[in-house]
Amino acid sequence: MILPVRFYKVKKDSQYISVHPDNPQKRLLLQVVKILNNGGVIAYPTESGYALGCYWDNKNAIDRIREIRRLDEKHDFTLVCGNLSHLSEYAKVGNVQFRYLKAHLPGPFTFILPASLEVPRRLQTPKKKTIGLRITKNIVANELLSYFDKPLISVSLILPNETIPMTDGWEIQEELAHCLDGVLDGGFCGYQPTTVIDFTGEVPVLVRQGQGVFNA
Reported as a single tens digit per residue, the pLDDT across 90-140 is 888 888 999 999 999 999 999 999 988 888 777 777 678 888 999 999 999
Helix intervals (H) in 45-158:
59-69, 84-90, 95-104, 139-145
User: Domain segments of the chain: what residues?
Assistant: 15-208
Confidence (pTM): 0.89
Residue 161 pLDDT grade (very low, low, confident, very high; cuts 50, 70, 90):
confident
> Please, is 74 exposed, middle or buried when counting C-beta atoms within 10 Å of its C-beta (0-12, 13-18, 19+)?
exposed
Which of helix, strand or coil describes residue 5? Answer: coil
Q: What is the largest CA-CA distance in the chain?
A: 49
Confidence of residue 1 (pLDDT cuts 50, 70, 90): very low
Question: Cα separation of 39 and 37, whole Å?
Answer: 5
Residues pairing with 205 in the sheet:
198
Closest alpha carbon to 187 in 209, 171, 206? 171
CATH superfamily of 15-208: DHBP synthase (3.90.870.10)
**Confidence band of 12 (pLDDT split at 50, 70, 90):** low
Mean predicted lDDT score pLDDT of the chain? 88
**How far is Cα of residue 130 from the mean position of the Cα atoms in its chain?**
16
Residue 204: phi and psi, rounded to 5, are: -70, 140
